[in-house]
Each structure stands twice: as C-alpha cells, then as structure tokens.
C-alpha cells in the first residue's frame, strides 16, 4: 500500500538523521519531566484523590462541558483559580496545548495582529494557524524588535486589536521573558498580553502564581496543571468577557469531552496548598539555585541560568543523543532534544530540575556530565 510505504520511508529518513522519536520507559533519576514540585506521585495528591472519591467525585465527565459534562468541581476550580491568579474569570480545559489552540484560534479577529515571540510553543502556532488575524514574529525576548515589527504593521495600515504572545519561561531555553517591558508596550498600544505560564506556575511568583501576576497590561494567562501542579489540564485566566467568548466560540472547548472532575478536585487541592504554604515553591527554588551553582562549578556548557530548565547545548544531533544515552546508563534520566523542536545546530540536553531529585543527585549529575563531555565529542 502506497500510504504505508510512504510512512515507512519517512520513518527511515528520520532515523538516518537521528530524529526518529521513540517511547521509552521511565528509568533513573528524574531530570526529564516537568514535575517541578514533585507532586505527581505525592501523598498530597493521593490523599486528595481519596477524599474526592469518598465524596463521590466521578472519574469521568461523560461529555463536553456544554452537554452534561459540566460538574461542580469544574466550577469550583475555576472560581478558586481566578481568585488565586488574580483574574476575573478562569476556564478549565483538558490541557495546555488545547487551551492555547482555543485562545489563538478564537479571540483574535480578522484585522487584528498577533505579535508573537519567535520561540513560542507549538500549541500557540497551531492556534494561530486557524486564526483569521495577521501574525508576525519578533526576535526572541527582544522588545525593541517587537516594537519595530509592530510599528511596521501600523505603518502598513493595521488598525485592529493587538495581541502580544509570549511565554514567561521558555520550555527549551529556560530563559525568562522581559514581561515588565512587554507590559509597558502592551499598555502603550492597548494590546492584550497573552502569557503562557506553563513552566512558571507553582515555581515563580508569589505562592507560585507565575511571573505575569500583577502586570499593568490587560493580561490573559495560561497555567498548565500537568507540570508544576502535578496533575493535568490547563487553566485560562483573564477578563470574564474573554472567558465567556471562549465558552461560546472556542471549538477546542465546545467539541471536547470535559476534563475529569477528579482532576479538577486535585488541582483545587494543590492551589489551596500553594496559597497557604510556600514550602514547595521555596524548595523548588533552592534546588534550582543549587543546580545553577553546580553547572558553573563543573564547567558544563549551558545557555542562560534563569530557571529550573537548564539547556546543555551540544549542537550536533548524534553527539547529543550519545550523551543522553550515556547519562541514562549512569542512572540519570536526561533526554536529548533535536530539531525541529529546537533550531538546527542547537541540539541539547534539557536538564529539568524536578521535585523528585535531591541536591546530592543534582551534584552527581553535573559531575557526571563534566566527566563525559569529552567522550561524546
């Protein structure tokens, strides 16, 4: 069959370029996941799940939110999340990818401009692909270039609403967006600043509320629940009119089965803990700073050191995957990241400092990395 032959040829080509993806089991110390607070398998969530089951919270929703899938746990979570993140309203969705699709395919209209950082997540690109708005990129974290691109659009006759799309922490670079300056730009042009807080939620900001908390601009934020919060799903937080618009017009919301009410109950438990106790966030930041110090001490090549995500950029794809395999054999679960996820020539190890490792584990990883760098060259 032609289709099968074509697909097999595609897979063989990926393999020859060291880009074929495979599913591998969990093994070794967790330096690969996004479980930054160590909550995913925690007693806290196990207890919260048991309590939710005892009060008859269902595991499944049975349908979309608009067709009987809506549950009091969803609504309670949205009310509590809006209060926690300082927004008028919130909408709980099945995941961050789906939420970004909903935001960018629904809210910007024909004649609007989506001005986006060149390294925003694939989910934002997927949403923009279905948008009727104009889309233009600016150089990563470069507010001067954002201003230049915006000025060009305005000079060309652009008059619609402006939406500025960024991540607060970038998932492969680990660097932080200049949100205060971007907020000033948004205020100047009455733009909406859309901030994907996926890798900041639970780790940064007061009580883990993220880095966009308290900005002056009109802000729409996305907080994923499957990273720092340890569960799954995504929370869109912003003005009530935007939330209502998504409920009425966003196809990824309207035509999707609602998230599990049990998941909503678990996210509620995590937000309540973060609100009352900064211990998890403090511990995550302590691990992060220890990792930065160890990377420097061992001379491990890395990009910026701003967050719990530390990119060890090796460049060559084959070398990157050899190094990843070497570390995995030593008991460290570190994954290699290759194009097209990252730009050509920037293949890297993505070291994620999770809540499932100790400071001693972190020290051991960077000492092992330093030891094997030359061997993988």
Per residue, the 3-state secondary structure of 13-45, as one string, reads HHHHCCCCCCCCCCCCEECCCCCCCCCCCCHHH
Is 171 part of the annotated catalytic residue set? yes
Is 12 part of the annotated catalytic residue set? no
How far is it between the farthest Cα atoms of the chain? 61
Cα–Cα distance between 70 and 242 in angstroms, integer? 19
pLDDT(128) > 70: yes
Torsion angles phi and psi, residue 134, rounded to 5:
-70, 145
Is 2 part of the annotated catalytic residue set? no
Nearest partner of 90 among 239, 248, 229, judged by Cα: 239
Q: Which of 71, 74, 121, 213 is catalytic?
A: 121
Cα–Cα distance between 334 and 107 in angstroms, integer? 37
Q: Which of 30, 196, 294, 361 is catalytic?
A: 196
Q: Any alpha helices (H) in the chain, and if so which ranges?
A: 2-16, 43-54, 72-85, 96-106, 122-129, 143-155, 179-188, 240-249, 251-254, 261-276, 279-297, 317-329, 359-372
Q: Which of 167, 173, 175, 294 is catalytic?
A: 167
CA-angle at 57, arms to 220 and 246, nearest 5°: 25
pLDDT of residue 140: 97
Q: Using one digit for the tens of pLDDT, what is the confidence trace for 47-99?
A: 999 999 999 999 999 999 999 999 999 999 999 999 999 999 999 999 999 99
Q: Using one digit for the tens of pLDDT, what is the confidence trace for 303-358?
A: 779 999 999 998 888 898 999 999 999 999 999 998 888 888 888 999 999 999 99
Cα–Cα distance between 285 and 51 in angstroms, integer? 30
Cα–Cα distance between 54 and 229 in angstroms, integer? 22
Cα–Cα distance between 25 and 28 in angstroms, integer? 10
Cα–Cα distance between 153 and 191 in angstroms, integer? 14
Q: Using one digit for the tens of pLDDT, what is the confidence trace for 21-37?
A: 888 888 899 999 999 99
Output the six-digit token pair for 38.
């160590």
Q: Which residues does 272 contact at the CB level (< 8 Å), separation at least 6?
A: 80
Q: Using one digit for the tens of pLDDT, what is the confidence trace for 245-268?
A: 999 999 999 999 999 999 999 999
Q: Which of 171, 183, 260, 356 is catalytic?
A: 171
pLDDT of residue 2: 87
Mean pLDDT of the chain: 95
Cβ distance 221 to 195 under 8 Å? yes
pLDDT of residue 374: 60
Nearest partner of 227 among 269, 262, 197, 253, judged by Cα: 197
> Omega before 340 cis (within 30°)?
yes
Cβ distance 82 to 90 under 8 Å? yes
Confidence class for position 184, pLDDT limits 50, 70, 90: very high
Specify the 3-state DSSP secondary structure of 161: coil
Is 80 part of the annotated catalytic residue set? no
pLDDT of residue 175: 95
Cα–Cα distance between 309 and 335 in angstroms, integer? 12
Question: Cα 110 vs. chain centroid, distance in angstroms?
Answer: 27
pLDDT of residue 375: 57
Is 121 part of the annotated catalytic residue set? yes
Is this model's pTM higher than 0.85 or not? yes
pLDDT of residue 316: 85
Domains of the chain: 27-39+279-376 (3.90.1150.10), 57-276 (3.40.640.10)
């Amino acid at each position: 069959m032609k289709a099968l032959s074509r697909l097999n040829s595609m897979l063989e080509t990926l393999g020859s370029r060291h880009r074929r993806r495979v599913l591998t089991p969990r093994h070794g110390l967790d330096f690969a996941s996004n479980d930054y607070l160590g909550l995913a398998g925690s007693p806290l969530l196990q207890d919260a799940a048991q309590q939710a089951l005892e009060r008859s919270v269902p595991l499944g929703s049975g349908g979309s939110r608009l067709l009987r899938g809506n549950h009091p746990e969803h609504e309670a979570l949205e009310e509590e999340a809006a209060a926690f993140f300082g927004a008028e309203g919130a909408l709980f969705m099945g995941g961050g990818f789906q939420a970004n699709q909903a935001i960018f395919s629904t809210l910007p209209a024909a004649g609007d401009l989506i001005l986006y950082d060149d390294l925003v997540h694939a989910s934002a690109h997927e949403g923009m692909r279905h948008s009727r708005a104009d889309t233009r990129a600016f150089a990563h974290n470069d507010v001067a270039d954002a201003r230049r691109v915006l000025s060009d659009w305005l000079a060309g006759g652009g008059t619609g609403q402006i939406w500025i799309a960024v991540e607060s922490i970038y998932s492969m670079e680990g660097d932080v967006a200049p949100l205060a300056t971007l907020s000033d730009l948004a205020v100047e042009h009455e733009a909406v600043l859309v901030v994907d807080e996926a890798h900041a939620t639970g780790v940064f900001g007061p009580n883990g509320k993220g880095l966009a908390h308290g900005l002056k601009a009109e802000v729409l934020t996305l907080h994923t629940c499957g990273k720092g919060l340890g569960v799954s799903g995504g929370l869109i937080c912003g003005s009530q009119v935007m939330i209502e618009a998504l409920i009425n017009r966003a196809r990824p919301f309207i035509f999707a089965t609602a998230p599990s009410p049990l998941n909503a109950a678990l996210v509620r438990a995590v937000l309540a803990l973060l609100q009352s106790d900064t211990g998890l966030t403090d511990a995550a930041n302590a691990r992060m700073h220890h990792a930065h110090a160890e990377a420097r001490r061992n001379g491990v090549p890395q990009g910026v050191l701003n967050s719990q995500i530390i990119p060890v950029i090796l460049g060559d794809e084959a070398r990157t995957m050899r190094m990843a395999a070497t570390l995995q054999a030593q008991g460290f679960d570190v994954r290699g990241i290759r194009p097209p996820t990252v730009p050509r020539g920037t293949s890297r190890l993505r070291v994620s400092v999770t809540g499932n490792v100790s400071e001693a584990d972190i020290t051991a990883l960077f000492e092992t990395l330093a030891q094997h760098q030359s061997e993988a060259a």
